[in-house]
Structure 1
Amino acid sequence: MANEVLNRLDTAKTQWYHFTAVVIAGMGFFTDAYDLFCISLVTKLLGRIYYTIPGSSTPGSLPPNVAAAVNGVAFCGTLAGQLFFGWLGDKMGRKCVYGITLMLMVLSSVASGLSFSSTPSTVMGTLCFFRFWLGFGIGGDYPLSATIMSEYANKKTRGGFIAAVFAMQGFGIVTGGIVTIIASAIFNAIHRAPAYEVDPTGSLPPEADFIWRIILIFGALPAVITYYWRMKMPETARYTALVAKNAQQAAADMAKVLQVKITQEPENTEQVRPNKDYGFFSREFFQKHGWHLVGTSVCWFLLDIAFYSQNLFQKDIFTAINWIPKAKTMSAMEEVFRIARAQTIIAFLGTVPGYWFTVFLIDKIGRFYIQIGGFLAMFVFMLGLAFPYHHWTEPGNHIGFLAMYAFTFFFANFGPNSTTFVVPAEIFPARLRSTCHGISAAAGKAGAIIGSFGFLYAAQNQNPALTDHGYPPGIGVRNSLFFLAACNFFGACFTLLVPDSKGKSLEEMSGENDDEDVEIETVPSKTAISV
């Protein structure tokens, strides 16, 4: 029966439940993106609130070590969560762990916004503590959401459905910008500070401390809404059949969600029992999937160095090309508004369209061509930004820079940012699928940590105003763009290690239906499947 269950999953028609699963799993990624990227919208405000020297005419900014911690600590938690929950998802089942990660995200989002204390250092320390645990919960969402969607979907549309789950990130990024725009506009209207207030005391009303807290706490809302529906989802039939080795329960669960009728008639049940239940550290695994894991991990690592550097430090790049004025020329409310508006425009123009191009084309073009094409396109556009960088910084030229910059985001998402999430959920065995996806994703977050901490140093651009605040001289935005272009080039090279799973079943890709690895055991049963 297990073979029959898997065949039915692979050939099942696209049904309403598939779209429901995308929304339920995707809202986790909506929350993930909102929580991870909204911090970049408020870091300059945090500097003004907690590090402006009383009586000074210069707005304060976060010290280098504090800025690095606030921006990067969630990625450290995410990396740990991906490894831990990825492993746990294979040991305890996907559904069992799914609710834990979501509740951890909810509680940590609220706690992050309630980081109160009497001194700036303790406020930042408390914020970093809760953002680490927020990242830990987010980390678990990566392997579990990808694995659950891959194990529910049929082989013809599987890539599109997994990519659709990940595409909810784009809406999370946009929503973060919109929430920040609305919050800053409301508080700016309440406190009518001049748009270009030089005096930081006059431009920083008491309400400013509420803005960043509201923005962070709002991230808990979508996770709360979807918690009930996540708990209603049954365990995936593939896990139940191949890992828990309970084909009858797998058939029953599939019948509930995929409109397959269960009839009772005397029949022997076939259960798939792999002769070689090899573990992760076995020779068999590394012979069959070792290079695959290297390919998925290194590609994700290189991609996230570039992708998270661009996302987290857009505000610094926009300031460097004079699209956003210097902090001392505008009020705190105006600065938050302008940063959020700029990042939202980029997300609308490049980020969101790129995600959905992948959703609609991944099962037609294939994962391999989308990934290698995206890496190479990002490489070209990064060079297009870097070589004439001084031209882009001249007054009146920022529109061209923004267009090129938006294209890098478009091809990141119509490219490796989506496919690196999809492929690890398709090519590894069911008993190790969540673990391997977690390892690949954790490699990506290691790249994000390098991107977030490294770009903070690199992008200083020998700016005296920044070094006055304790920042060491950096290599500059231009040279950092050259470095990110190199990351994309090598990402294209390592894509050659990753197989294309277009149109193939999960068992075909993982080798779980190979004759030499599988024996069919017959046990008595009265359950059969019919449609």
Structure 2
Amino acid sequence: MGQAGSSFFWPGRDPEARGAGKTLEKARRHFMRSVDDSGFNWLVLIVAASGFFTDSYNLFASNVILPALSYVYWGEGQHETALYFNLATLVASAFGQLAFGYFADRYGRKSLYGIELIIVITSTIGLLQCSNGISETVNGLTAHTWDIDGWIFFWRIIMGIGIGAEYPLSACIAAEWSSTEARGRMLATVFFMQPLGQLCAYGAGLTTLQAFGDSKIEIDKQWRYVVGIGTLPTLLALGFRIFMPESGRYTYEVLRTTPLQKIEPTGTRHDDSDASTRIQQPENQDEVEDQISWSKMWHFLYVEGHWADLFGTSMCWALLDFAFYGLGFSAPSTLEKLWAYGPITDDATEKSIEVKLRENMRHGIFTFSIAAIAGSIFVIAIIDWVNRKHMLTFTFSLLTIVLALAAATFDKLFQKGELRIVLIMFWNLISFLFSAGPNTLTFIIPAEVFPTKFRCTLYGFAAAFGKLGAVLVQIVILNIPSLRNDPNSSDIQYLLASYAGCMALGALCSHFFVPKVQRRSNAENTRRGCFCGTPSTPFYANIPLQELPPEQTRWRRKPKATDGEELRALPA
């Protein structure tokens, strides 16, 4: 897209236009000042959030379409197939996070804007057209020209790659285009799209269900409409991405090089004095590769000690997702147990598929979605008034207590008439705390703590490590037959106890390894309010991205006398 198009939709926000004719440092300061002066920029929010919303919709649409797929193609009780479906999506998502995180640093953010959405659109169209083809029965055996299971898994894997790719791109778009004061609110609002996307998936399922009957043909239409609806917000998000210029921080800190610039010791901060060299674009991609070389990343992580930042953010995300996806991703089977008034009998399992689907979606809304949305709104409101690191540790600790209580009382509440309401309230509270704490904060903090040249790569690694936790819990569930085959099994209480242990480990990782991204505010640091622009003074001020991550003193490797000069020669 040409310069004119970008300027029309991003007035005054194009780093190329702002840097024309200026020295490197002056152009960088001028552009960064314009970004900081923009406050809470709604255009940035729309661009970042629209993509994340559509991917969240497609990810959590699994909870809507899996019961329909089981009814039409796999047969009742085929929970293994549904779990394999989830596993395929999660593994593909982890791959997308890793690959696109690296590509965004290697080739630039702009070169990837929209590619992940095109992948999602293409896979959505492919998924909703899956078919068995022509069927013919010979000697009692039915043969098909196509294997619909294979095609469903194939297109879901492709979609998973696109869904995963959106994580580092959406988070880094929001972080790098946000003003320093609005960064926390911006990232929290982008993540608000996850529970909103989940709610819309349930809403789409309920709406389409009203238009169809309960025959296999009608249900087969219903799940295809739910999947197809996901292309509409994706197309909208793609339109916004096309007109978005390159990230200013990536432009000035990676793309624009100054070959005559002095090499300074690692960790040295530049002052505001003008550079003597003019802005110069890299002549070829090898120069960009040199900026993000593996040796420099190794130096940043190992020598400077920032492996602890990566370890902390990655482990917190993995421990969170182990519990989160264990409770939420397998929602159809879990919800039936939670809402059961008494033991589930054969008569109860013979409800019409239409009734089952409607109950599942309504229960999902009242058990997970509403509480998650409330938690996200809560964290948006307080994100600037609390220390994010301390809040992450506190909410992990609180979840440890709540999950332990749920595990201890599960047997006394499960299928015990009206007492099941207490169990449902436990799930509501857990869902609220996830969104108000770890689920949102593990999305936000990795986008803040890593330098621009490695931001997407390391963010993608942390996010993929989180998906590893989600994969592990699906494997655990797959290997506990009672959870899959016995609707009256109370073995989920043992999983709840393991989730409580994960939350306790998450609190420890947060306390010891996650770095601070804020500093205490002072009297002069009066800032604008959340959205209305009214003056306010939050307790904590965001540290500018160029000052993050803070220097590691605990984990930094002490250089040997023989290699000290070599280490100092490497640029920050």
* TM-score, scaled relative to structure 2: 0.76
Q: How far apart are 1:517 and its partner, in Å?
A: 8.3
**Residue number in structure 2 paired with 1:431:** 453
Counterpart of 1:24, as a letter, is: V
**Residue number in structure 1 paired with 2:178:** 153
**Residue number in structure 2 paired with 1:303:** 320
Distance in 2, matches of 1:153 and 1:450, equals 35
1:420-475 deviation digits (Å, cap 9, x = unpaired) = 11111111111111100000000011111112332344473485579xxxxxxx88
**Residues 475 and 407 (structure 1), Cα distance of their counterparts in 2 relative to 1, 3 Å cut:** closer
**Residue number in structure 1 paired with 2:421:** 399
Structure 2 gap ranges (5+): 1-22, 134-142, 259-273, 281-286, 519-541, 552-567
**Residue number in structure 1 paired with 2:302:** 286
Distance in 1, matches of 2:29 and 2:170, equals 19
Q: How far apart are 1:292 and its partner, in Å?
A: 0.6
Q: Is the 8 A contact 2:477 2:483 kept in 1?
A: no
Counterpart of 1:375, as a letter, is: F
1:286-311 deviation digits (Å, cap 9, x = unpaired) = 23311111111111111011111111
What does 1:141-180 align with in structure 2 at a 5 Å threshold? 141-180=166-205
**Residues 276 and 152 (structure 1), Cα distance of their counterparts in 2 relative to 1, 3 Å cut:** closer
Between the aligned residues of both structures, percent identity stands at: 26
Q: Is the 8 A contact 1:81 1:138 kept in 2?
A: yes
Q: How far apart are 1:180 and its partner, in Å?
A: 0.7
1:97 and 2:112 correspond: yes
Q: How far apart are 1:342 and its partner, in Å?
A: 0.9
1:23 and 2:62 correspond: no
**Residue number in structure 2 paired with 1:122:** 147
**Residue number in structure 2 paired with 1:412:** 434
DSSP-derived class of the 2:201 partner: helix
1:186-210 deviation digits (Å, cap 9, x = unpaired) = 22xxx3xxxxxxxxxxx53421111
DSSP-derived class of the 1:430 partner: coil
1:189-240 deviation digits (Å, cap 9, x = unpaired) = xx3xxxxxxxxxxx53421111111111211110111212111011011000
**Residue number in structure 2 paired with 1:498:** 514
Counterpart of 2:125, as a letter, is: V
Q: How far apart are 1:376 and its partner, in Å?
A: 1.3
Q: How far apart are 1:344 and its partner, in Å?
A: 1.3
Higher helix share: 1
**Residue number in structure 2 paired with 1:389:** 410
**Residues 214 and 6 (structure 1), Cα distance of their counterparts in 2 relative to 1, 3 Å cut:** farther
DSSP-derived class of the 1:387 partner: helix
1:321 and 2:338 correspond: yes
What does 1:151-230 align with in structure 2 at a 5 Å threshold? 151-187=176-212, 191=213, 204-230=215-241
Counterpart of 1:294, as a letter, is: F
**Residues 426 and 6 (structure 1), Cα distance of their counterparts in 2 relative to 1, 3 Å cut:** farther
Counterpart of 2:172, as a letter, is: T
Distance in 2, matches of 1:385 and 1:214, equals 37
Counterpart of 2:251, as a letter, is: T
**Residue number in structure 2 paired with 1:510:** 549
Counterpart of 2:94, as a letter, is: L
**Residue number in structure 1 paired with 2:67:** 44
Distance in 2, matches of 1:377 and 1:444, equals 20
Q: How far apart are 1:125 and its partner, in Å?
A: 1.6
Which stretch of structure 1 is more off in the superposition, 11-20 or 40-49? 11-20
Distance in 2, matches of 1:343 and 1:33, equals 15
Counterpart of 2:201, as a letter, is: G
**Residue number in structure 1 paired with 2:87:** 72
Q: How far apart are 1:271 and its partner, in Å?
A: 6.3
Q: Is the 8 A contact 1:38 1:173 kept in 2?
A: yes
**Residue number in structure 1 paired with 2:164:** 139
Q: Is the 8 A contact 1:174 1:348 kept in 2?
A: yes
Q: Is the 8 A contact 1:40 1:71 kept in 2?
A: no
**Residue number in structure 2 paired with 1:453:** 475
Counterpart of 1:185, as a letter, is: Q
Counterpart of 2:245, as a letter, is: P
Q: Is the 8 A contact 1:362 1:370 kept in 2?
A: no
Moved over 4 A (4+): 1-4, 10-14, 118-121, 266-278, 324-327, 461-466, 516-520
Q: Is the 8 A contact 2:335 2:364 kept in 1?
A: no
Distance in 2, matches of 1:309 and 1:358, equals 23
Counterpart of 1:88, as a letter, is: F
DSSP-derived class of the 1:32 partner: helix
What count of residue pairs does the alignment treat as equivalent?
470
DSSP-derived class of the 1:452 partner: helix
DSSP-derived class of the 1:438 partner: helix
* TM-score, scaled relative to structure 1: 0.82
Distance in 2, matches of 1:94 and 1:2, equals 20
Q: How far apart are 1:78 and its partner, in Å?
A: 0.6
**Residues 271 and 518 (structure 1), Cα distance of their counterparts in 2 relative to 1, 3 Å cut:** farther
Counterpart of 1:49, as a letter, is: V
Counterpart of 2:91, as a letter, is: C
Structure 1 gap ranges (5+): 53-59, 192-202, 248-265, 467-473, 521-531
Q: How far apart are 1:285 and its partner, in Å?
A: 2.9
Distance in 2, matches of 1:435 and 1:368, equals 22
Q: Is the 8 A contact 2:64 2:205 kept in 1?
A: yes
**Residues 456 and 184 (structure 1), Cα distance of their counterparts in 2 relative to 1, 3 Å cut:** farther
Distance in 2, matches of 1:6 and 1:493, equals 38
Distance in 2, matches of 1:462 and 1:40, equals 15
Distance in 2, matches of 1:85 and 1:355, equals 26
1:122-178 deviation digits (Å, cap 9, x = unpaired) = 212211111111010111111111112111112222111112111111110000010
Cα RMSD after superposing both structures: 3.0
Q: How far apart are 1:355 and its partner, in Å?
A: 1.5
Q: Is the 8 A contact 2:407 2:496 kept in 1?
A: yes
1:313-338 deviation digits (Å, cap 9, x = unpaired) = 22322222343866623100111111
Q: Is the 8 A contact 1:82 1:142 kept in 2?
A: yes
Match of 2:371 among 330, 343, 350: 350
Q: Is the 8 A contact 1:9 1:152 kept in 2?
A: no
